[in-house]
Amino acid sequence: MNPVSAVMRRELRSYFVTPVAYLFLVIFLVLSGILTFYAGDFYERGQADLQPFFVMHPWLYLILVPAITMRMWAEEAKSGTLELLLTLPLTLWQAMLGKFLAAWLFIALALVLTFPLWVTVNYLGAPDNGVILVGYLGSWLMAGTFIAIGACMSALTRSQVVAFILTALVCVLLILAGQPQVMDFFHGTLPRQLVNAAAHLSMLRHFQAIARGVLDLRDVLYFLLSMMGWLIAGVLLLDLKRTR
């Protein structure tokens, strides 16, 4: 069996051994419905689409994804199974990729389970289903970046709580980086070029473009390269631990 596939299967099974996975799915689905139809002013807008649904995703992921990824490597290090895992005939990159793919597929499952919302919107009106499909893709790509950051932070520490806090902190910084209020605050103290460069790192900026139905290659590359960069950083951190 391919080492990456073996690690991915192991991780997926571990999610459903405990109630954590089921709790995550229930919370995600309940909050998605509440935030879409009530907090998102779905009925007041008078427009049948899922924009209120996608607008809430960064904030849902900000809490729920770190809760999934915090145990990814921190628990292995704390329980002593990290040393055992590293003695198996697989590379650090294969182990990291397997764990990442397991979490990413789990998020994909959570998104698939929100399909009744899509059906409801089509029942209430005539939305542009192409835009909705692209929005789902953008949400999944953004979730992948959250997971990659979480994997890196989990590789950095033995504490799940610290991994959770660090992941949430990095993610919220990347979400807020492109917000007008933040940019206006730093425009007077930092060079304009630096502020504009930081704005391009904003996850929210790239996700919102995709959620509107504009599938720009630059936005897709942003998420793919971000995932790759954070996963490589996580592998380097694990390698430092192994060589100590």
Q: What is the pLDDT along the chain (244 residues), one digit of tens a residue?
A: 588 888 899 888 888 887 878 888 898 888 887 877 776 566 666 666 777 788 888 888 988 899 889 888 877 666 666 666 666 677 888 889 999 999 999 999 999 998 888 888 888 777 788 888 999 999 999 999 999 999 999 988 888 899 999 999 999 888 887 666 656 555 566 666 665 666 677 788 888 888 888 888 888 999 999 999 999 999 998 888 766 6
Amino acid letter for position 175: I
> Tell me, what's the pLDDT at 151?
93
Q: What are the structural domain ranges in the chain?
A: 3-243
Give how far Cα 174 sits from Cα of 43, 171, 198, 214, Å. Answer: 31, 5, 9, 21
- DSSP 3-state assignment of 42? helix
Q: How far apart are CA 201 and CA 22, in angstroms?
A: 33
> Tell me, what's the pLDDT at 22?
87
Q: How far apart are CA 142 and CA 149, in angstroms?
A: 11
Q: How far apart are CA 207 and CA 192, in angstroms?
A: 23
> Tell me, what's the pLDDT at 52?
79
Q: How many C-beta neighbours within 10 Å does residue 205 have?
A: 17
Q: Where are the alpha helices (DSSP H) in 46-199?
A: 51-55, 57-69, 74-79, 81-87, 92-112, 115-124, 129-156, 160-176, 180-187, 192-199
